[in-house]
Every structure is written in structure tokens, then in C-alpha cells.
Amino acid sequence: ALRRCGEPGGEVQVDDRDLEARDVSALIDVLASDPRIAQESPGDPRIGMSGGSYAGGIQFVSAAQDTRIDAIAPEIAWNDLLEALIPEGVVKMGWGLLLYGGGMTSLTNGVLPPEGPAGTQLGSYSPELHRALAEGAATGTFSEQSREFFEQKGPDHLLHRIQAPTFI
């Protein structure tokens, strides 16, 4: 089942193979149960993924975890999340603040309750993301703890497992 990030207690992570890739697999399960979707075999719908930025990055992680994904076309994606966020040791605060703020206005902890198509959202970012933003803004870099958090995310150590045709 999906983690329901927008529900009370839900947490947004970053390109996590055990959480967000599992969410993608849960969506594929939904498609596999829909008789309108072409199937390669029972439970294996024909799946292609396309998208940029985060929608590009999650394709690598998802295709490495779920062999039912038949083709991916990531655009403007990364293969090393830590290097993408803190190239040459300096945090990319411009993009970081834009993405963090944009996400916070649509997925809040109840402090800033926006009304959108899904109603008021009550989830939050993981505490590690809050800490990394504060560190980056205050010091221009990440602590070893934040670096380790981001090193565990992203596709760089999973790329060898992708079997789907990949169009970059």
C-alpha cells in the first residue's frame, strides 16, 4: 500500500528505494489489477516511465527495484543524489530553498494548511531533510550525518540492477 505522505504522520523522503520505490511498485500493482491496462503476464502490466528532475531520479531507483517497469526515460535526473545537492562541497541553496518551500506549501504539517485538490495536507518532510536545509542555509555545507542520509538515497549504487531499456 502507498504510504499516504499527505495524511497525518506521513513523511516525505528523498529518492528512497525502500519507501518511494515501494510506492511506485504499489501504483504498478493498481495498474496490474485494472483490466484496461495491457499486461505482459498476469500481474505484470506494460509500464514505461518518463519525467524530469525528481520524476527522472525516481525512475532509476524504481526500475532497479521493480522489474515490471519495461522502459524508462529520465530527464534532468541525477545518478548521485549527494553530488547533485552539494556539488564540490557547496550546498545548492537556490534550488534547495525553492524545492523545499514549494513542497512545504503543498505538503505541510498543519501549520500552513493549503486547500488543494486533495484537501488540507498534513504530512511533513523527514526530520533529516529539515536538518539538512538548516545546515545548508547556516553553513553552506552538510554535517556528516546529513551526508550519510543522502548517500543512502538515490540510484548510484542501484544502477547496475536496471534491466529496462533506458533513454537518457
- Structure-block grid coordinates of residue 49: 516511465
- Compute the distance between CA of residue 67 and CA of residue 165 in angstroms, rounded to an integer: 11
- Tens of pLDDT along 39-92? 999 999 999 999 998 888 899 999 999 999 999 999 988 888 888 888 888 888
CB 71 within 8 A of CB 64: no
Q: What is the pLDDT of residues 74-86, one digit of tens each?
A: 998 888 888 888 8
For residue 163, what are the contacts with CB-CB under 8 A and spacing of at least 6? 63, 67
| pLDDT class of 18 with cuts at 50, 70, 90 | confident
Decide: 158 and 60 in contact? Cβ < 8 Å.
Answer: yes
Whole-prediction pTM? 0.77
Which range is most confident: 4-8, 11-15, 17-21, 58-62? Answer: 58-62
Q: How confident is the model at residue 109 (pLDDT cuts 50, 70, 90)?
A: very low
- CA distances to 40, 112, 131 from 20, in Å: 24, 24, 20
Which helix H or strand E contains 47, and what residues bound it?
Answer: strand 47-52
User: What is the predicted pLDDT for the residue at 110?
Assistant: 45
**Residue 3 banded pLDDT, cuts 50, 70, 90:** low
Tell me the chain's radius of gyration from C-alpha atoms. Answer: 17
